[in-house]
A and B are shown apart, each in its own frame.
Chain A
Amino acid sequence: MLLLFETPGGFAIFKVLDEGKLSSVEDLGNVFSSPESARKMVKLKAFDKFDNTSDALEAVAKLVEGTPSKGLRKFLKANCKGETLAVADSKLGNIIKEKLTIDCVHNNAVMELLRGVRSQLSELITGLGEQDLAPMSLELSHSLARYKLKFSSDKVDTMIIQAIGLLDDLDKELNTYAMRVREWYGWHFPELAKIISDNILYAKSVKLMGNRINAAKLDFSEILADEVEAELKEASVISMGTEVSDLDLIHIRELCDQVLSLAEYRAQLYDYLKSRMNTIAPNLTALVGELVGARLISHGGSLLNLAKQPGSTVQILGAEKALFRALKTKHNTPKYGLIFHASVVGQAGRKNKPRIARSLAAKAALSIRCDALGDAGDNSMGVENRLKLEARLRSLEGKDLGRLAGSAKGKPKIEVYNKDKKMGSGGLIAPAETYNTAADSLLVQTTVSAENGVKEKKDKKKKKKAEAEEEEEAKAEESSKKKKKKKAKTEVEPEVVEPAKKEKKKKKRKHEEEETEEPAKKKEERKEGEEEEEE
């Protein structure tokens, strides 16, 4: 009788030398208590080693289900002709009997035998000691575990976090280099900086023309629009820049090359990020977009971590500074963090932004959990939720409109007279922006230019925050108009002064501040020149 024994290193077939002992199961235990008596009981007949880990994994995975793998079948066919085979698993035995017509046995005696062999394994199989078996067993168990857990390397969220970090880094680098090109080439041809505002186009133009003298001869139609080209050619003739040598131009051109290749790579990286986001978190992507989704994941540390956060946390992720400051000073907490940049929130009107942000955050939290812990790999849930959100947004906007438009019966809705409310806003949700005469003052101009200059230097994310801030400022100015007209002018000025102050501080901080600023401002009494210090 033969005995099939599986080890992490391969399959072993033992020949049972003394079959008589099999009848008394209790004694079998004693037989294997020492190596010599064990060797008298069984002898190693053949050993089939696994070629490599994948081979082992396949064989063992099949074994777990109770089917013999190809390697095992070959091995058995070669060695078990005409004998009965003792196996550890009766299911396996049945299949072997069917496919290979080898008689299989499985009973208590067999189990005892196997136990005994296991206890003396290193003695019975020469060349396969404990030290060899242990790492093999470890490796095999890890592969098997991974196979069972359906570990897929596609779904690793660290890629997202790294990619978004790199994207931010690239933006900064790109900006730095582009600025450097402008400055450097500005020595030679300063007018060009004002003519071409886009960094990439600037770099391309510089690369094409080199010395400004060449500008008149060359054709810029691929890079620039016609008017811009004409301007350029004009300016190149009357430029007041200095001459530069060819060697300098070579270096400037190299820098331009760098800028262009970085820009290209950034585009590639963005595509990569988009595809990864769709694989790893399809529902979240459908709801908030790739960039915001990636930032959320990166902020949370990992998709799983993010999934553990409630919707309210998702709403203000990214505005922690404002949040804790508001909590400490018992003011209003920020209404949105990273979520602010989602397109759904961007579409909403001023009044509805916080409402939509909250609903979006709630749905986003659900989508994140679906992605992190669910099994379905599609984005059906995200798309559904997005539709729901857009419908909600429409109904919210519609409600405001409806209130102002009057009822269907033709009579206007009678509202309580509020002498402070500005009449004539008509059907507009927000009153129309009229020209702000206070903006004529010098003070504001510096603000505006400073803002412009600063804006150029910031990267995409911060640009958005600047926009948001502008919005807030515009709103603030509007809200002041809503109040007593007498004080309007004087109020606007201190308000305008404030933006000047604000500009000097870091933009990011201001963005978070603004979120809390607005409601706070609305609540307090309008005092002349005594606006709340937003330190």
Chain B
Amino acid sequence: MRSPLRGRGRGEGSAMRGGGRGPRGRGPGGRVPGGRGPRSEPGGMKGGNKVIVTPHRHEGVFTGKGKDEVILTKNLVPGESVYNEKRISVQNEDGTKVEYRVWNPFCSKLAAAIFGGLDDIWIKPGAKVLYLGAASGTSVSHVSDIVGPEGCVYAVEFSPRSGRDLVNMAKKRRNVVPIIEDARHPAKYRMLVSMVDVIFADVAQPYQANCIDGTMPAETVFSNEVKKLQADELKPAEQITLEPYERDHACVVGGYRVPRKQKTATAS
């Protein structure tokens, strides 16, 4: 079930878009907690706020602590917003500037899962990710930020409208391979994809959950899906719900043929 307001045009106030970018003035140097997390001058949130950026438990993800807590990813294409999200610029001790983009959990199920406290997302710098149900590429852009230039994201999206936006986004980010195909027929895009480390699937399916059978409670539906995954050699490792960001959604993380090759899948 895809949240209908997903993707572009959301996020806190487009008034800040492109407006206050870059560090304004200089805060006092030093006062850097634990040698990490440089002090950042604003650009994010309500503009004029001080935000402290620290690395998150998951590699490649960062947290910004200002008035409220947000998660950030390091922008692969500095200076550009993909879907009008806020950006935060930080100046390091050696003077170089780093830009981060705010990852909104209301816009992205993966961000909601991370906020919810997922143990391991398996998506890390250098990983190869197969992203099924890429839509316009808003979440994909964040995954692309995380995996960095060494990693690769194969983004599969069937709809041509969203596909157009996806291809435009992929033009700027060279680690995203756009594939306009039906995710249910992997044979059709087999020649474009190599082996991957992680599969992220968020595809609206005709037989999905509450849409069809409104009487079943969400939990039952989740456990049915998990059983299906198990039948296909996917060993579920953890499951969390995406409340309060999404209704009746859960994220399941599992391993495929777990022993040596750690192939994992997350599904909602």
Interface residues of chain A, those whose CB is within 8 Å of chain B, are: 6-8, 29, 33, 60, 63-64, 88-89, 114, 118-119, 121, 130, 133-134, 137-138, 140-142, 144-146, 148-149
Q: Are B180 and A149 in contact (CB under 8 A)?
A: yes
**Distance in Å from the Cβ of A123 to the closest Cβ of chain B?**
12
Q: Are A8 and B192 in contact (CB under 8 A)?
A: yes
Chain B residue at smallest Cβ distance from A118: B195
Knowing A29-B257, A138-B174, A149-B163, say if A7 contacts B191 (CB, 8 Å): yes
Q: Are A6 and B190 in contact (CB under 8 A)?
A: yes
Q: Are A64 and B170 in contact (CB under 8 A)?
A: no
Chain B residue at smallest Cβ distance from A59: B191
Chain A residues, Cβ within 8 Å of B170: 142, 145
Q: Are A145 and B179 in contact (CB under 8 A)?
A: yes
Chain A residue at smallest Cβ distance from B155: A141
Residue from B163, B170, B187, B257 whose CB has the most chain A CB atoms within 10 Å:
B187
Some 26 contacts from A to B, beta carbons below 8 A apart, are A6-B191, A8-B192, A33-B260, A33-B261, A60-B192, A63-B191, A64-B188, A64-B189, A88-B187, A118-B195, A130-B194, A137-B192, A137-B193, A138-B177, A140-B191, A140-B192, A141-B177, A141-B178, A142-B178, A144-B179, A144-B180, A145-B167, A146-B167, A148-B163, A149-B163, A149-B164
Q: Are B160 and A89 in contact (CB under 8 A)?
A: no
**Distance in Å from the Cβ of A118 to the closest Cβ of chain B?**
5
Chain B residues, Cβ within 8 Å of A6: 190-191
Q: Are B190 and A141 in contact (CB under 8 A)?
A: no
Q: Is B202 part of the contact surface with A, judged by Cβ < 8 Å?
A: no
A148 to B180, CA, bound (A): 7
Q: Are A145 and B190 in contact (CB under 8 A)?
A: no
Chain B residues, Cβ within 8 Å of A138: 174, 177
Interface residues of B in 253-268 (CB under 8 A from A): 257, 260-261
Q: Are A148 and B160 in contact (CB under 8 A)?
A: yes
3 smallest A-B Cβ distances: which pairs?
Answer: A6-B191, A148-B180, A141-B177
Residue from A29, A33, A141 whose CB has the most chain B CB atoms within 10 Å:
A141
Q: Is B80 part of the contact surface with A, judged by Cβ < 8 Å?
A: no
Q: Are B190 and A88 in contact (CB under 8 A)?
A: yes
If over half of A's interface residues share one DSSP class (helix, strand or loop), that class is named, otherwise mixed; here it is helix
Chain B residues, Cβ within 8 Å of A29: 257
Chain A residues, Cβ within 8 Å of B190: 6, 88, 114
Chain B residues, Cβ within 8 Å of A144: 179-180, 192
**Distance in Å from the Cβ of A117 to the closest Cβ of chain B?**
10
Chain B residues, Cβ within 8 Å of A130: 194
Chain B residues, Cβ within 8 Å of A7: 191
Q: Are B160 and A149 in contact (CB under 8 A)?
A: yes
Q: Are B191 and A60 in contact (CB under 8 A)?
A: yes
State the interface size on chain B (CB cutoff 8 A).
26
Interface residues of chain B, those whose CB is within 8 Å of chain A, are: 152, 160, 163-164, 166-167, 170-171, 174, 177-181, 187-195, 257, 260-261
**Distance in Å from the Cβ of B232 to the closest Cβ of chain A?**
13
Knowing A64-B188, A138-B174, say if A119 contacts B195 (CB, 8 Å): yes
Chain B residues, Cβ within 8 Å of A89: 187
A29 to B170, CA, bound (A): 33
Chain B residue at smallest Cβ distance from A11: B191
Q: Are B194 and A142 in contact (CB under 8 A)?
A: no
Q: Apart from A6-B191, A145-B170, list 17 A-B contacts with CB within 8 A.
A: A60-B192, A64-B189, A88-B187, A88-B190, A118-B195, A119-B195, A137-B192, A140-B192, A141-B192, A144-B179, A144-B180, A145-B166, A145-B167, A145-B179, A146-B167, A148-B180, A149-B164
Residue from B164, B171, B189, B190 whose CB has the most chain A CB atoms within 10 Å:
B190
**Distance in Å from the Cβ of B68 to the closest Cβ of chain A?**
31
Q: Are B163 and A121 in contact (CB under 8 A)?
A: no
A137 to B174, CA, bound (A): 11
Chain B residue at smallest Cβ distance from A106: B187
Q: Are B195 and A137 in contact (CB under 8 A)?
A: no
**Distance in Å from the Cβ of A107 to the closest Cβ of chain B?**
14
**Distance in Å from the Cβ of B231 to the closest Cβ of chain A?**
15
Q: Are A137 and B177 in contact (CB under 8 A)?
A: yes
Chain B residues, Cβ within 8 Å of A118: 194-195
A130 to B126, CA, bound (A): 13
**Distance in Å from the Cβ of B184 to the closest Cβ of chain A?**
14
Chain B residues, Cβ within 8 Å of A149: 160, 163-164, 167, 180
A6 to B190, CA, bound (A): 8
**Distance in Å from the Cβ of B30 to the closest Cβ of chain A?**
42
A155 to B181, CA, bound (A): 23
Chain B residue at smallest Cβ distance from A92: B187
A359 to B190, CA, bound (A): 52
**Distance in Å from the Cβ of A176 to the closest Cβ of chain B?**
35
**Distance in Å from the Cβ of A148 to the closest Cβ of chain B?**
4
Chain B residue at smallest Cβ distance from A136: B192
**Distance in Å from the Cβ of B200 to the closest Cβ of chain A?**
18
